[in-house]
Amino acid sequence: MKKIVLMIVASVLVFGCNNDDNNPQPTPNATVEFTFTHNWDGDVIENSDFDLLQYFNANGEQMSISKLVYLISDVTFTNLSTAVSYDAGDYNLINVREGTNLTFTPDIEIPEGEYLVTFTFGFDDEDNQDGIYPDLNSADGGWNVPMALGGGYHYMRLEGKFVDNTSAQANYAYHTIRANDNTTTPITLQDTSFEVSLGQVTVGSSTSVEVKMNVAEWFRSPNQWDLNQLNTVLMPNFDAQIMMYENGSTFNGSTGVFSKGTVTQ
Amino acid sequence: MKRSLAYIALCCLLVVSCTTDQDDNTDGYTATPLELNIPPLFAEKILPPVIPEDNPQSVEGVTLGRKLFFDKKLSADNTLACAGCHSPASAFSDPRQFSVGIDGTAGTRNSMPLFNLAWNYNELFFWDGRAASIENQALFPVIDPIEMHNTWPEAVNTLQADPEYPALFEAAFGTQNIDSTLVTKAIAQFVRTLISGNSKFDRYLAGTEQLTQSELNGLNVFLDENRGDCFHCHGNPNNPLWTDNIFHNNGLDETHIDRGRGAVTGDPREFGTFKTPSLRNLAYTAPYMHDGRFNTIDEVIDHYSEGLVYSETIDPLMKKVDEGGVGLTPEDKADLKAFLLTLSDPSFISNPDFQDPN
C-alpha cells in the first residue's frame, strides 16, 4: 500500500513536469519494423526447404540450399518533404534456416511521414572494419573475413549442393565479401556491398515493411552463374565477387535479389 | 528545467526507497559473488559468457562444484567421479577412445574436453547437443547406465549423509537440503571457471610472443579457402573460442551408425552431424573426432586433405570430396599442425584451481 501511494505521488510529479512543458515538439516517435522473407522465384523458402535438391538455377543446375545467412546495415529513411535522412547505423544478421533475426527494428525513432527507404547489403567500407563487432565475431563461429583477404566481415554465406555436369552431387559455398585480389601489393580491395532501395514508404505509428529476397536472382543476371565453374573458393576470387555484386544489386538495370513486399500500418 | 530534474530525482528517491523496503523483507541467501576470470582477448573480441540468472557464480558454489566434480560419491559404487572421464591433464577430456563406466562398459563417443563452455552461446552441449545448459548436461552422467549408473535420489542421499556436504551446500545456496538441481548448479559453476585463454597464439595476438615461420604459414593454411579453410567452422583470430559450436558432417563415413545430432532432433538432414570441437588444447585432447578414431593431429589433417567421404548430409564446406579433399602438401600439413599446437595452453591443465581438492 505504501508503494502504491508513493507511485501515485511520483506519477503526479511526473505529470506535473510534463504539464509545465507547454511546447510539445514534433519529436520523432515512430519506429519501423522490417520483416525479411525469402523465396525462389516466388516459392517461399522455409526451414523445411533447406537441403532439398529442389531448385533449378538459370544455368539449369539442380541445387539445394543448406545455409543462408546474410548481413544488412545502415537502414536509412530519407524524408521526402524535408530531405532529412535518419540512419540508426545498426545492422542485422539474418539466419534464414534458423529463423533468427527475421524481424528487425532499427534503433531510431523518426517522425511519421513519407520516406525513401534504403539499406546496405553487407557492410560498406566505412563499417567493414576488422574485428570490431563482438556480436559478429561471436556469430556463426566468427562472421569475419581473414586479413589475407582484406579483413572485415562476410556479407553473406549461401551454401548447398548441386548436381554437377557428371551427374554427381557437389558442394557450393557462395560467400559474398569485399572483392579482393591479394596477388597485388598492397592487396586490391573493392567495396562490393550495395545499397538496396525499397522505394517510397509511408511511415505511421506502427509500420512494418516486408523485405523479400529472391535467391534465384543470385544465379541469374546479368551473370548467368555456372556452378560447375564457380562453386567453392569464391572468397579470394575477385572477379567472382564482382559478379555476385552485379547479380545481387540492380547493377545495369538487373532485377537484383531484394524487393519491397507488403507494407502494413 | 531545474524543477524537472528535481522532480525526477525525487521520483528516483521514492522508487529506491520502495525497493529497499522490499529487499529488507526478503530472506534470500546470497553467497559471495565470484567474477569469472575472463581473458582480455575474450573480453575484447566476443560477447560475454552465458551465466544463468538463477545460478550466479559464487566462491562457495565453485568450491562445492569443484569438490563434487572430483568426488566419486556421485557414482553408484563410489568408484567414478566426473574427473574420471574428464581429467585436468587431458584438458578435461579422456585419453581413452571411449570412457569406461563403473560396470566396465565402454561408451560409444570420445569424452569431450571441458573449457570455455560459458561461451557456448547456443547452449547445446555434448557431441549431439542434447543438453540445453551446463546444469542440464551435468544431470546425465550420474544416471547413465554406462557411466556412473546411479540414481539421483541415491546420489543425493549419499551427499546428504556425508559429514561435509550439507554445510557446503548451505554456504553455497543457503540450504542444507540437497537435491539434483543444486548439485548440478554447483558443478556448472565450477565448469564455467574452466577457462583457457593463455596459449602461445593468445600471447602472439597480445604482442608478447612471436610465432615461428612454420606456425605463421600454418595460420595462413588454416585461413586459406584454397587450402585448409578451417576457419569457417573453427573460427579465426577474432574469435578465441576456435569453434562455431555448430553441428556438421565432416565427411567421416558413407553411412551413419551414430546419427549424432540427427538422433536427437529426428531430422534426417542432421544425421551424422556432430558439434565442432574447439581446436584449443589439441596437445592434450587426443584421440580426436566424436568417436576418437584418430590418434594424432596428423591423422586428422590427413582426413581433411585426402580422406573425405561423401554422404547425403556432408557439409557444403567440405571441398573436393570426390578427390577426398584439398590435397595439402606435406609442408602445409606440417605447418598447419605447428599452428594448431600454438593453441594449446599448458597453464590451463596445470592451473591449481582446477585440480582435485579432495
**Which of B329, B275, B300 is closest to B124 using CA atoms?**
B275
Residues of chain B with Cβ-Cβ distance to A140 below 8 Å are 244, 246
B46/A contact by beta carbon, under 8 A: yes
Residue whose entry in the numeric block shows the C-alpha cell 571457471: B193
B300 min Cα distance to partner chain A (Å): 20
**Which of A196, A91, A169, A105 is closest to A134 using CA atoms?**
A91
**Which of B107, B185, B181, B94 is closest to B144 using CA atoms?**
B107
Q: How far apart are CA A67 and CA A45, in angstroms?
A: 11
Cell numbers representing residue B204 in the block = 602472439
Render pLDDT for B150-189 as a digit per residue (tens, 0 to 9): 999 999 999 999 999 999 999 999 999 999 999 999 999 9
Residues of chain B with Cβ-Cβ distance to A172 below 8 Å are 316
Residues of chain A with Cβ-Cβ distance to B7 below 8 Å are 13-14, 16-17
Q: How far apart are CA B265 and CA B251, in angstroms?
A: 20
Residues 169-188 of A with CB under 8 A from B: 169-173
**Residue A203 lies inside a defined structural domain of this protein:** yes
Nearest-Cα residue of chain A relative to residue B217: A148
Residues 93-122 of B with CB under 8 A from A: 119, 121
% of chain B surpassing 70 pLDDT:
92
**Residue A218 lies inside a defined structural domain of this protein:** yes
**Residue in B225, B241, B318 closest to A236 by CB:** B225
B175/A contact by beta carbon, under 8 A: no
Give mean pLDDT in consecutive 10-residue pieces for chain A, a chain of 265 residues. Answer: 40 42 63 98 98 98 98 97 94 98 97 97 98 97 96 98 96 98 95 97 96 98 97 97 98 93 96
> Hey, what domains does chain B have and what are their CATH numbers?
40-196 (1.10.760.10), 200-342 (1.10.760.10)
Burial of A205 (0-12, 13-18, 19+ CB in 10 A): exposed
Segment (H or E) for B66: helix B59-69
**Residue in A134, A157, A236 closest to B46 by CB:** A134
pLDDT at residue A252, as a whole number? 87
pLDDT at residue B27, as a whole number? 53
**Residue in B44, B238, B269 closest to A142 by CB:** B238
Residues 316-345 of B with CB under 8 A from A: 316-319, 321-322
B13/A contact by beta carbon, under 8 A: no
**Residues A210 and A235: beta-carbon distance below 8 Å:** no
B24/A contact by beta carbon, under 8 A: no
- Virtual CA dihedral for B250, B255, B261, B266, nearest 10 degrees? 150
Cell numbers representing residue B340 in the block = 594448431
Q: Which amino acid is at A195?
A: E
Domain count, chain A: 1
My answer on whether omega of the bond before A186 falls inside 30° of 0, hence cis, is yes
| Pairing status of strand B247-248 against strand B274-275 | antiparallel
**Residue in A17, A20, A233 closest to B226 by CB:** A233
Could B3 and A17 be called an inter-chain contact, meaning their C-beta atoms sit closer than 8 Å?
yes
Q: How far apart are CA B14 and CA B8, in angstroms?
A: 10
Render pLDDT for B88-107 as a digit per residue (tens, 0 to 9): 999 999 999 999 999 999 99
**Residue A24 lies inside a defined structural domain of this protein:** no
Could B3 and A161 be called an inter-chain contact, meaning their C-beta atoms sit closer than 8 Å?
no
**Residue A58 lies inside a defined structural domain of this protein:** yes
**Which of B30, B42, B57 is closest to B192 using CA atoms?**
B57
Q: How far apart are CA A35 and CA A32, in angstroms?
A: 10
pLDDT at residue B20, as a whole number? 36
Range of the domain at A96: 30-264
| Pairing status of strand A32-40 against strand A207-214 | parallel
Q: Residue A33: count other Cβ atoms within 10 Å of its Cβ.
A: 14
Q: Categorise residue A40: left if φ over 0, alpha if ψ from -120 to 50, beta otherwise.
A: beta
Long-range contacts, B97-104 (Cβ 8 Å, 24+): B97/B287, B97/B291, B97/B292, B97/B293, B98/B291, B98/B292, B99/B147, B101/B144, B101/B145, B101/B146, B101/B147, B101/B148, B101/B149, B102/B75, B102/B76, B102/B77, B102/B147, B102/B148, B102/B149, B103/B145, B103/B146, B103/B149
Chain A to chain B Cβ contacts (< 8 Å)? 116
**Residue A15 lies inside a defined structural domain of this protein:** no
User: Quick one: chain A helix, strand, coil %, rounded to 5?
Assistant: 20, 35, 45
Could you report the predicted ipTM of this complex, rounded to two decimals?
0.90
SS3 B352: helix
Nearest-Cα residue of chain B relative to residue A142: B235
**Residue A123 lies inside a defined structural domain of this protein:** yes
Read off the DSSP letter of residue B202: H
pLDDT at residue B236, as a whole number? 97
B123/A contact by beta carbon, under 8 A: no
The separation between the first and the last C-alpha atoms of chain A, rounded to the nearest angstrom, is 41
A129/B contact by beta carbon, under 8 A: no
Could B318 and A171 be called an inter-chain contact, meaning their C-beta atoms sit closer than 8 Å?
yes
Could B15 and A2 be called an inter-chain contact, meaning their C-beta atoms sit closer than 8 Å?
no
**Residue in A6, A144, A159 closest to B238 by CB:** A144
**Which of B218, B232, B224 is closest to B317 using CA atoms?**
B232
Render pLDDT for A54-84 as a digit per residue (tens, 0 to 9): 999 999 999 999 999 999 999 999 999 999 9
Nearest-Cα residue of chain B relative to residue A235: B225
Q: How far apart are CA A108 and CA A90, in angstroms?
A: 9
**Residues B265 and B327: beta-carbon distance below 8 Å:** no
**Residues B78 and B67: beta-carbon distance below 8 Å:** no
**Residue A23 lies inside a defined structural domain of this protein:** no
**Residues B176 and B161: beta-carbon distance below 8 Å:** no
B239/A contact by beta carbon, under 8 A: yes
Give every residue of chain B whose pLDDT is below 50, as ranges: 1-26
**Residues A128 and A99: beta-carbon distance below 8 Å:** no
Could A20 and B321 be called an inter-chain contact, meaning their C-beta atoms sit closer than 8 Å?
no
C-alpha B50: how far from chain center = 12
Read off the DSSP letter of residue A201: E
Residues paired with residue A119 on neighbouring β-strands, in sequence order: A196
Q: How far apart are CA B310 and CA B330, in angstroms?
A: 24
Nearest-Cα residue of chain A relative to residue B268: A51
**Residue A247 lies inside a defined structural domain of this protein:** yes
